[in-house]
Structure 1
Amino acid sequence: MSAKAPTLLAPDRDGIVKAARLLADGGLVALPSETVYGLAADARNDRAVARIYEAKGRPSFNPLIVHVADMAAVERIAEMPGAARRLAAAFWPGPMTLVLPLRATAGLSPLVTAGLPTVALRLPAHPVMRAVLAAFGGPVAAPSANPSGRISATRAEHVIAGLGAQVDAVLDAGPCAVGVESTILAPAPGGLRLLREGGLTREAITNVAGPVQEDVTPGKVEAPGQLSSHYAPEVAVRLGGAAQPGDITVGFGPGAADLTLSETGDLVEAATRLFDVLHAADRLAADRQARAIRVSDIPDEGLGRAINDRLRRAAAPR
C-alpha cells in the first residue's frame, strides 16, 4: 500500500508509459474510461488483485471486470458463443461487459472471478485507457475506483477523495463522458440475460439481439453491481416525493433545486452528471448537516433505467 498521496499522471505518452509500468510492477492505478474511473491492477497477479479488494473494502464474493485491448485477448481468456460475437461486433469497444465461460488456460488470478466459472470482460472505448492497455500488454482488472458501496468516481478528484493513499497513481483525463458503469450481459442458450443496467441502453441491445431477460439482483452475485445497496452517499437518499425541510434536493428538468442532473430533462446529460452530482450533494449535506438527499423522479427509459438502477441501490437500506 502507498505511504503517500497517489501520483497524478497526465493523459500523455509519458503518463501512459508510467501507468503501464506501475501495473507491471503490481501497482494500483486509477484509469479513466468512458463510463467511470476504474481501479486497475494486473488481472494475472494475485497480490495486485488482492490489493483492489483491500483498497475498496470490497467483499471477496463480488467478481471484477477484466478490461482488454482487443478481441484476440478476449479469445485467449473466454469462450465466445455466437450471441456474444454479435454483441461484440455491434458494441465493442464501448460501455458493454459480457459474462462469458472462462477458459482453463486464461491465466487470470482466481480472485478476479470470485471462484465463478465465468469471467466479465470489456473492451473500453476511452482512448487513454486503450493506450494504457496497449502499453501494458495484458488484461487489467478494474472495478470502479471508489470505496465499495459508495458513489462511483467520474473525476480524478473523486478517486483521490475516496481512496487517497491506497492508490499508487491516478491518470487524470478529465470527467468521464458516459458517467454510469457498463451494461453487463450474459449470453446463454436460454437467451440473453441483463445482469446490470448501464451505459448501453436496453433499446440498443434489443435492436441487435432481441429481448433480454432482466436478472439484475439475483440471489447469488455473478457480476459487479448486483448488490442491493451500492453507489451510496454518506447520508440517506430519498427518491421522488415532496422534499422535507432541510433535504438537499437534486432536480431533473425545470424547477428549483439545490443541484440538478439536467435542467432540460436530458437523460444523456443526467447520466454523465449523476455521480458528480451525488458527490456534490453529499458534500452539501455535510456542510448543512442535512439528513437526506431528495432526488426528483427520472423517466424509466433509455439511460434513465441505468440512472434509476443506481439511485435505487443508493437509496436501499444499508
Structure 2
Amino acid sequence: MQIITPQDLDVAVRAIESGELVIVPTSRWYMICADASNAQACDSIFKGKRRPGAKSLAYVAPSLASCQEHFELSAEAERLATMFWPGDLALLLPWRSPEDAARHTAVGSPALTTVAPGVLGTLTSEAKVPVAATTANISGDAGPADLGPAVTIEEVHDFLATSGLTPSVIVDGGVCPAANHMTIVDCFTPEAKLVRTGLVHQRAVSAALGREIQRA
C-alpha cells in the first residue's frame, strides 16, 4: 500500500485503471474508489463495508457533459446539476441505454451520480475508466459512539483494519473539514424529490428549482 500526496495523483489514476482500490480525500471525508465497470473491485467494497446491495455506490462523472452521455436528465436534474456541480449534490438518475446499465451493474442500482471537485474530481477526469466511490466507513448505524466516515488518515487505517479491504493507494489530504454527507435528490421522475439532506441545504435545492422540494 502506497501513501501519496495529491501532487502524485497519477499513481492513484494508474491503480484505478489496473482494477485496484484507491482512497482519496474530499472536503467531506475520505472516499474509497474503484473502476465502476469492474465488478470484482466494486463487489469487494460492498463486502468490506458490509453495504447492502440495494445501496449503490456513487458514479462520479468527470463533467456534466459526460453525465449527459450516460444518463437521462430531466429538466429539473439539468437545473440542479448546472447549479451545484462540481459539488456536494448527488442525483439519482436513470441510465440512458441498456448498454450503459449493463456495463455499470457493479455499482448497484439505482445510479447515484455526481461530479466532484478537488482530488476526487481530478482522479475521475484523468482516469480512463469510470470511477465509483463511497465513504470510508462500515455501513449501517453503529450507535452513538460511531464517528462516521473517516476524516483523517488514522481513521482510514482503522476502517481498513475493520473492513479487511486493501487499497493499493491512499492519497493523504490531511484532515477533511466538513464531515457531512452529500445531499441526494431523486430525479427519476420529472418532479425531483429530496432523498437526503447534506451540505447542499434543502432551501438551496428549492431555490434552484423555483419550488419547495418534497421528500421522496
Output the TM-score relative to the length of structure 1: 0.60
Kindly provide the amino acid, as one letter, of the partner of residue 111 in structure 2: V
Q: Is the Cα contact below 8 Å between 1:36 and 1:153 reproduced in 2?
A: yes
Is residue 130 of structure 2 the alignment partner of residue 136 of structure 1?
A: no
Gaps of at least 5 residues in structure 2 are 143-147
Q: Hey, what does 1:252 align to over in structure 2?
A: none
Tell me which amino acid in the other structure corresponds to 1:90. Answer: M
Q: Which position in structure 2 is the counterpart of 1:160? A: 157
Q: CA deviation at 1:44?
A: 0.7
Partner of 2:186: 186
Match of 1:110 among 105, 108, 120: 105
Shift, 1:61, TM fit: 2.1
Amino acid at match of 1:144: T
Q: Gapped runs of 5+ residues in structure 1?
A: 1-5, 216-318
Q: How many Å separate the matches in 2 of 1:188 and 1:52?
A: 26
The DSSP-based 3-state class of the residue aligned with 1:60 is coil
Alpha carbons of 1:188 and 1:61: their partners in 2 closer, same or farther (altered >3 Å)? closer
Tell me the CA shift for residue 188 of structure 1. Answer: 4.7
Match of 1:10 in 2: 5
Length-normalised TM-score, structure 2: 0.87
Matched, 1:175 2:167: no
Contact kept in structure 2, 1:185 and 1:193, CA below 8 Å: yes
2:114 alignment counterpart: 122
CA distance in 2, matches of 1:20, 1:202: 34
Aligned to 1:31: 24
> How far apart, CA to CA, are the structure 2 residues paired with 1:192 and 1:59?
24
Q: Any runs of at least 4 consecutive aligned residues in structure 1 with deviations exceeding 4 A, and if so which?
A: none
Q: State the Cα deviation string for residues 289-317 of structure 1 (Å, max 9, x = none).
A: xxxxxxxxxxxxxxxxxxxxxxxxxxxxx
Secondary structure, in 3 states, of the residue corresponding to 1:54? Answer: helix
Superposition CA RMSD, Å? 1.7
Q: Does the Cα contact within 8 Å between 1:34 and 1:124 map onto a contact in 2?
A: no
State the alpha-carbon separation in 1 of the partners of residues 65 and 125 from structure 2: 12
Listed one character per residue, the Cα deviations across residues 99-153 of structure 1 (whole Å, up to 9, x for unaligned) are: 011122326431312xx4x311011122x22221122133211110112225211
2:139 to 123, 134, 148: 148
User: Quick one: percent identity of the two aligned structures?
Assistant: 28
Aligned-partner SS, 1:30 = strand
